[in-house]
Chains A and B, each alone.
Chain A
Amino acid sequence: MRIGVVTFPGSLDDGDAARAARIAGAEAVRLWHGDPDLHRVDAVVLPGGFSYGDYLRCGAIARFAPVMESIIDAARGGLPVLGICNGFQVLCEAHLLPGALTRNQHLHFRNRDQWLRVEATNTAWTNRFAPGQEILIPVKNGEGCFVADQRTLDQLEGEGRVIARYIRGNPNGSQRDIAGITNEAGNVVGIMPHPEHAVEALTGPSLDGLGFFTSVLRSLAGASADGQLAGGQQR
């Protein structure tokens, strides 16, 4: 399986996302912002960082990068796309996901190990978690406060599209403690905390982040492989 990781100017966690994909057993393929060719990847990660310096508004410029034109089209066709932190912001700016990520309520950048509860396990990126599973993943952002209008929030909740919620403390003031959401089809996921930083015992607070990457491998393997992998679902 080939997981593409996009590098925008100012992307920072692109190497980490590629490493996480490799550890999960995928082939990591680096995609360049100026190249619209997706190089036959099976899934795409939009990594964390400060694409284009986060000038104008986080993700607002990246959304117009040539590679994004292709990703937006492919995502509408079902390509699994995971946006982490800045990648989540890009997905919102690209209108692949609803809502917006605004300045943390306390106005500070915050980096800490954050407990999350996985709420939706029917997406391309979360199917290897158990519903309600509590996971520990680093969060680090200055503009991670998720906001949307009441109707959108109700709709997200009603359709089971909140994929993870902050528990034991909300690090940025996100509405309804939302840490991540998915689109209607479940192939596009945006998450503010960084699963790619929780894939090795040596450097992360847990191995919980790996589940996002193994999930997409399972969803790509399709129904036939589903049965074989099911035994390994619970970590």
Chain B
Amino acid sequence: MTTQPETATSGAEAARGVPNQPPAAAAPITKPSGFAATDVLVNEFEEGPDTVQRAAATPDELQPHADLGLKDDEYTRIREILGRRPTASELAMYSIMWSEHCSYKSSKVHLREFVKKVPKNTRMLAGIGENAGVVQISEKIAVTFKVESHNHPSYVEPYQGAATGVGGIVRDILAMGARPVAVMDPLRFGAADHPDTARVLPGVVAGIGGYGNCLGLPNIGGEIVFDPCYQGNPLVNALSIGVLPVERLQKKEATGVGNVVVLLGARTGRDGIGGVSVLASATFDEEAEQRRPSVQVGDPFMEKLLIESCLELYDAGLVSGIQDLGGAGLTCALTETAAAAGTGMRVWLERVPLREASMSPTEILASESQERMLLIVTPENLDKVLAVAEKWGVWATAIGEVTAASADGSPGRLLITWNDHVVVDVPPGSLADDGPVYERPMREPSDLILLQADRAETLPRPANAEELRETVLRMIASPNLCDKTWVTEQYDRYVLGNTVLAQPEDSGVLRIDEETGLGVALSVDGNGRFARLDPYEGAKLALAEAYRNVAVTGAEPIAVTDCLNFGSPEDPAVMWQFAQAVNGLADGCQQLGTPVTGGNVSFYNQTGAAAIHPTPVVGVMGIFDDVTRRIPMGFPAPAKAGGDLLYLLGETRLELSGSEWAWVTHGHLGGRPPKVDLAAEQALGALMGRASKAGLVSAAHDLSDGGLSQVLVESCLRYNVGAKVTLPEDGTSPFVHLFSESAGRAVVAVPRGHEKAFTALAAEHGVPCTPIGVTSEETALEVRGQFSIPLDELRTAFSATLRDLFGGTAELVSRHAEATEAEPTAVRSVTLEITDPQAPGGPIGNA
């Protein structure tokens, strides 16, 4: 039976919680029903829990290891480690911790490249292996940032899947000692007009907004990409960034024998059981929807309280160690904190506050209920910790204590009881660190040679100026290039008051220090099509794009996080793509001098035999000494007659393979992606940094998907400022100038009077700098000798697409006016009765 503890035990005080939330009442024990994942885990009720004693006595009892995702040899190894069969709880713990999601068993051998090739860096305070990487940005201040996937849950249950994706990454940031200050979301969906996209996208966007907005974190950027390869496997990646005083950096080690293990935050329920093992570490089949119980359910209000209480605890110096509970729940937090310190741990599982009293010990250990943190505190600080929790109305419960390492010096054991039954007795390191490691077979995809031979450069192109004009309009209305306001206006970008730039700008820019103007820029980018054509170069291109996006705002790129989204590692072709991408990213980071500080691998983004395009998503962070010098992407209203001068930086080549144009107009994917020249990216970045410091540039926009055409349209529409553009006559056709996706390029606007200084600076950095025209007081985008399109016409094409597809948010003023005329008073009074039950019929307001 599960009850709240009544008495203190071993120095750990009784549970305390929110006064108005009664402790979980004892309930009759019944076998829970209905949950596929749970049924596999729970068989312990008929004869009481499966104890260590019982396991030793019944060595031959059949166990459902295969159903839990454990291979036969993995099961054999568990038996060797324990010297007996595992208990039901232990088996569940091994299956979770040794899952692909937690153990990185397929990726580990490749991820070592990041460590092997890490560039020299003095800023890094914590790196790969921690909850998130921490980078020092000034003498006193550090930032921590990381991107993670929540792909599978978001497909099964879009709203909660995406919401808890935000919640999870925010807790990672919090666990490092930082106050989370912003989020970003790189998203990928199937075809924009597919009926299931209409189910997934609005739910995902509402979930991200619903959680992030309620948490008070500005959403400052991200990506929305549509491609049929993501139809059955949308990608919902979430990035968060936090800020901390350098000395507040937290550790996860459960040090100090006798220290108390405190569970802080929400009560534990049956949601998310099997999330990492059943859901995240297997490919989808037709029964994906039945896995809904494996998706966690979020409560952003609780997370907000959790953040505030943790920060107060850090500042008061009350925390010796801390770990968030996310995927793998209590199992992961207990084993990782103990394993990191080499200590043991003694846990009384019946003390865990529950939402449902009938939960079995296995369920409590496997639950992925959200908004929980595990704290290690000294016994003398326990009362203070509980008082802070009570102030914020958060449950805090002493559930265990840190125990000594073994007498022979070997690490301690994790001993877990449930109402005096010993249900777990394991070496924590065997779960956290000694999981299986595979060198999976790899083979280049058999279709790659043919795919690379099928180049887009040979496709038919617009034949005349009129067709070119139509192509511009068609491209900006295509789902990947169109205005994303329908999505981004569902996110709060203002809260906290430090958002300097947010979507649709190239980077999100945050002020970190109000006194000095110290700030950061962040961009996340990835291009699955390029990576499909060449995963090594594709990963480098993603890095180059994110780096460039940060650099064109004037920031200095310093660190990287990544989310590697791939198909099944059991497919040699996928494994080859993965290894190539990791190598490309590691080589790129080494060359740019920007270390990978942490990230996440998401495998099994695959339905049946169909894997997604390999999709490495790369986040780059840069710093500003003074964020007031950031460069926005929109052309400013001309300050002087004749407008600002426009320059194209970088070199345009005939590079159309994998481009948005090839996809939109021909449904074509083939050839080789654009060439990457990281030295050129660095030169461009250095130029933009200098130009920003010297105040030479009024706007800058990175060229990527959709090429120059897209950039001109976006920069014009941002502040409704026209441009007159003259394409260089250098033998390259106007079409290629407008739609090639060559890397290493940007368009800048230079106010008159600064042109000599700017072009000299460009020459000094060896960056090709071609004058391409001027901004204009006429509200049209004119490409001389080709076409002129009024900005209103561009805006109509650019902004209608998502609204037409997903509906709903057309201007309300006209609709409201119509409704008012058509349906007068009656409708209003009905609305009132429903929405204001406090004052039915009577006068409202009595001030």
Contacts and interface: CB of A to CB of B under 8 A. Distances in A.
B497 A100 contact: no
Contact of A110 (B490, B495, B500, B846): B490
B845 A99 contact: yes
Given A102-B831, A150-B828, A173-B816, A140 B301 contact: no
7 contacts: A97-B847, A109-B210, A111-B489, A111-B490, A147-B835, A183-B847, A197-B497
B301 A52 contact: yes
B829 interface: yes
A96 to B, nearest CB: 5
A203 B301 CA distance: 26
Interface string B830-847: 011001101100011111
Contacts of B609: none
A16 interface: yes
A83 interface: no
B837 to A, nearest CB: 9
Contacts of A93: 838
Contact of A169 (B490, B497, B812, B835): B812
A203 B511 contact: yes
A9 B393 contact: yes
Contact of B499 (A15, A166, A188, A203): A203
A202 B494 contact: no
A152 B825 CA distance: 12
B812 A185 contact: no
Given A13-B497, A109-B492, A150-B828, 13 more contacts: A10-B301, A49-B216, A50-B213, A95-B846, A98-B843, A109-B210, A170-B811, A172-B812, A177-B813, A185-B847, A188-B847, A203-B500, A203-B511
B164 to A, nearest CB: 16
Contacts of A221: none
B491 interface: yes
Nearest to B493: A111
B708 to A, nearest CB: 28
Contacts of B490: 108-111
Interface string B804-815: 000011011101
A140 B216 contact: no
B304 interface: yes
A149 B841 CA distance: 9
Contact of A138 (B304, B494, B843): B494
A139 B21 CA distance: 35
B500 A202 contact: yes
A112 B628 contact: no
A110 B499 contact: no
A105 interface: yes
A184 interface: yes
Interface residues of A, number: 61
A221 B243 CA distance: 39
Contacts, number: 158
Given A109-B209, A147-B831, A149-B828, A100 B836 contact: yes
A235 B815 CA distance: 34
B498 interface: yes
Contact of B206 (A16, A105, A108, A188): A108
B392 interface: yes
Contacts of B511: 202-203
A106 interface: yes
Contact of A105 (B494, B496, B812, B829): B812
B555 interface: no
A7 to B, nearest CB: 9
A55 interface: yes
Interface string A94-123: 011111101001111111100000000000
Interface string A158-191: 0000000010011111010100000111001000
A10 B847 CA distance: 26
B512 to A, nearest CB: 13
A106 B812 contact: yes
A19 interface: yes
A196 B811 CA distance: 25
Contacts of A30: none
Contact of A148 (B213, B491, B844): B844
B845 A97 contact: yes
Interface of B: 206, 209-210, 213-216, 299-302, 304-305, 392-393, 488-500, 511, 627-628, 808-809, 811-813, 815-816, 825, 828-829, 831-832, 835-836, 838-839, 843-847
A12 interface: yes
Contact of B812 (A12, A13, A173): A173
Given A106-B809, A147-B828, A9 B305 contact: yes
A117 B408 CA distance: 77
B843 A152 contact: yes
B299 A203 contact: no
Nearest to A187: B847
Contacts of A218: none
A53 interface: yes
A169 B811 contact: yes
Q: Counting chain B CB atoms within 10 Å of each CB, which of A50, A76, A98, A203 scores highest?
A: A203
Contacts of B809: 106, 108, 110
Contact of B627 (A54, A112, A184, A202): A202
Nearest to B831: A147
Contacts of A169: 811-813
A177 B817 CA distance: 10
Contacts of A99: 836, 844-845
A173 to B, nearest CB: 5
A200 to B, nearest CB: 8
B513 to A, nearest CB: 13
Contacts of A92: 845
Contacts of B214: 10, 12, 50, 53-54
A184 B847 contact: yes
A16 B496 contact: yes
A194 interface: yes
A202 to B, nearest CB: 6
Nearest to A171: B812
Contacts of B215: 12
Contacts of A76: 847
Given A147-B831, A149-B828, A202-B500, A194 B845 contact: no
A106 to B, nearest CB: 5
Given A15-B497, A111-B490, A170 B813 contact: yes
Nearest to B495: A12
Nearest to B217: A12
Contacts of B838: 93, 95
Given A109-B213, A110-B490, A111-B489, A149 B847 contact: no
Contacts of B816: 105, 170, 173, 177
A140 B844 contact: no
A16 B495 contact: yes
A110 B393 CA distance: 29
Nearest to B810: A106
A149 B832 contact: yes
Contacts of B213: 50, 109, 140, 142
Contacts of A9: 301, 304-305, 392-393
B33 to A, nearest CB: 29
B409 to A, nearest CB: 47
Contacts of A170: 811-813, 816
Contacts of B843: 98, 151-152
Contact of B829 (A12, A15, A49, A150): A150
B738 to A, nearest CB: 30
Contacts of A10: 214, 301, 304-305
Contacts of A97: 845, 847
B160 to A, nearest CB: 16
Contacts of B496: 15-16
Nearest to B209: A109
Contacts of A166: 813
Contact of A98 (B393, B500, B815, B844): B844
A97 B839 CA distance: 12
Contacts of B302: 53
